[in-house]
């Protein structure tokens, strides 16, 4: 299997520039016709985490989604756009807020695209996935390039988690609470649902304690396109200063033959990889223990720990984190939210669900002492 991935520079979210850059990224890998048959039904899935403005870089930027939509319209596709964001349950009013504030509603209105809810599910293997996958001929995934406190980063493979309907995502966090198991579960979804095409928004990416508001936007000025999610994620990990096989989803997916993780075996088009590697890209605080030698981790794993903690000045007591916690480890007290660390599985769903950057990462004493 040969994987062709393109990397194209794009300095900002100007509508014309994003369209030209996205078109170039697709032309470099053979053009949209190589992946999608004209006049087909296509589900476009951005990464929408919160009801929040595009400037925060938490959700895929609407102009990248618009560019993909326009290219699909050029080949007369019928387009459905949707995601299963972090609204915890089938609270349609919250979902509408996500679509409106992320800019997706406006794009759909302006481009004549149907905005859909993932409210109907069909069990596929062990996952209740949106039935829009059945309705459509193709899935086009449009992730955001960002860090992730639990999986280190979120790119092509992680974006597919949003295809799981409603609150079952919380259930999966509880069931697969170890990072290794959670990563394998994400690869199970990839195995079940292979996108025909993935276009990644890395124009403004998110570094630090992503994928939510605790991360920090960083101008990376790049767009990526390809069919192979493993190859795309491998390229992203190198750009952020990691090795491809340091990311568990990439390693597992490559092991199962779902794509190529060997950078030398990936055919790169557009920018040269060495020219776009980001210097001092800030990883999530939780990721560092995975980068020290495994024997050291084994010796110290009970002592090197990361927990969520609240920054009370930023907390509005909205309770989103309480709803998001799969183990009910958070409660509302008089002074605000409180954590029960005996119940906490360090999944950082609470950090992900907080729109106010009020949940930070706390390190155990040993992690602090040895500088992790």
In the complex, which residues of this chain contact ligand SF4 (CB under 6 A)?
308, 310, 315-321, 324-327, 329-330, 337, 339, 344-350, 353-354, 356, 358-359
Residue 219 in tokens: 């101008």
Calculate the dihedral angle through the C-alpha atoms of 274, 260, 32, 144, rounding to the nearest 10 degrees: -60
What is the rounded distance in angstroms from the CA atom of residue 364 to the CA atom of residue 45? 37
Nearer to ligand SF4, 201 or 352 (CB): 352
**Minimum Å distance from CB 85 to ligand SF4?**
15
DSSP character for 204? E
Instruction: Give Cβ neighbours of residue 334 (< 8 Å, ≥ 6 apart).
Output: none
Nearer to ligand SF4, 236 or 349 (CB): 349
DSSP 189-204: HHHH---SEEEEEEEE
Nearer to ligand SF4, 39 or 340 (CB): 340
Residue 94 in tokens: 């919250």
**Minimum Å distance from CB 321 to ligand SF4?**
3
Nearer to ligand SF4, 169 or 251 (CB): 169
| Contact between 153 and 206 (Cβ < 8 Å) | no
Residue 32 in tokens: 């949209």
Residue 76 in tokens: 């007369």
Q: Which helix (H) or strand (E) holds 219?
A: strand 215-226
**Minimum Å distance from CB 330 to ligand SF4?**
5
**Minimum Å distance from CB 311 to ligand SF4?**
8
**Minimum Å distance from CB 348 to ligand SF4?**
5
**Minimum Å distance from CB 58 to ligand SF4?**
14
Coil, helix or strand at residue 197: strand
3-class secondary structure for 113-151? CEECCCCCEEEECCEEEECHHHHCCEEEEECEEEEECCC
Nearer to ligand SF4, 99 or 339 (CB): 339
Distance of alpha carbon 184 from the chain centroid? 16
Nearer to ligand SF4, 45 or 146 (CB): 146
Instruction: Give Cβ neighbours of residue 353 (< 8 Å, ≥ 6 apart).
Output: 50, 86, 88, 212, 320, 321, 323, 324
**Minimum Å distance from CB 217 to ligand SF4?**
19
Nearer to ligand SF4, 102 or 170 (CB): 170
**Minimum Å distance from CB 334 to ligand SF4?**
14
DSSP character for 364? -
What is the rounded distance in angstroms from the CA atom of residue 372 to the CA atom of residue 363? 8
Coil, helix or strand at residue 198: strand
Place of tokens 């309770």: 319
**Minimum Å distance from CB 196 to ligand SF4?**
33
| Contact between 111 and 66 (Cβ < 8 Å) | yes
Nearer to ligand SF4, 235 or 350 (CB): 350
Nearer to ligand SF4, 257 or 336 (CB): 336
């Amino acid at each position: 299997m040969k994987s062709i991935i393109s990397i194209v520079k794009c300095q900002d979210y100007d509508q014309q520039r994003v369209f030209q850059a996205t078109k170039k990224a697709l032309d470099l890998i053979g053009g949209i016709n190589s992946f999608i048959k004209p006049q087909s039904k296509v589900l476009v899935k951005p990464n929408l985490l919160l009801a929040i403005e595009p400037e925060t870089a938490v959700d895929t930027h609407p102009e990248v989604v618009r560019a993909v939509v326009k290219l699909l319209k050029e080949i007369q596709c019928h387009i459905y756009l949707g995601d299963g964001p972090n609204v915890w349950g089938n609270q349609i009013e919250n979902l509408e807020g996500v679509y409106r504030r992320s800019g997706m509603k406006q794009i759909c209105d302006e481009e004549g695209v149907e905005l859909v809810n993932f409210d109907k599910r069909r069990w596929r293997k062990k996952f209740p996935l949106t039935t829009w996958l059945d309705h459509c001929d193709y899935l086009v995934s449009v992730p955001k390039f960002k860090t992730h406190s639990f999986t280190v980063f979120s790119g092509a493979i992680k974006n597919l988690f949003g295809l799981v309907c409603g609150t079952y995502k919380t259930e999966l966090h509880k069931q697969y609470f170890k990072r290794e198991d959670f990563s394998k579960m994400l690869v199970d979804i990839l195995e079940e649902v292979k996108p025909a095409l993935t276009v990644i928004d890395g124009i403004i990416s998110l570094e630090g304690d992503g994928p939510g508001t605790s991360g920090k936007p960083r101008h990376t000025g790049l767009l990526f396109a390809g069919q192979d999610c493993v190859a795309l994620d491998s390229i992203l990990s190198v750009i952020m200063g990691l090795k491809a096989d340091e990311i568990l989803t990439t390693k597992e997916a490559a092991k199962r033959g779902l794509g190529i993780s060997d950078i030398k075996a990936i055919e790169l088009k557009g920018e040269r990889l060495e020219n776009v590697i980001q210097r001092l890209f800030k990883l999530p605080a939780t990721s560092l223990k995975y980068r020290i030698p495994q024997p050291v981790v084994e010796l110290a794993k009970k002592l090197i720990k990361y927990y969520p903690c609240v920054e009370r000045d930023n907390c509005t007591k909205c309770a989103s984190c309480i709803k998001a916690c799969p183990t009910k480890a958070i409660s509302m007290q008089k002074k605000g939210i409180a954590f029960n660390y005996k119940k906490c599985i360090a999944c950082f769903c609470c950090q992900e669900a907080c729109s106010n950057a009020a949940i930070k990462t706390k390190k155990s004493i040993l992690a602090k002492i040895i500088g992790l």
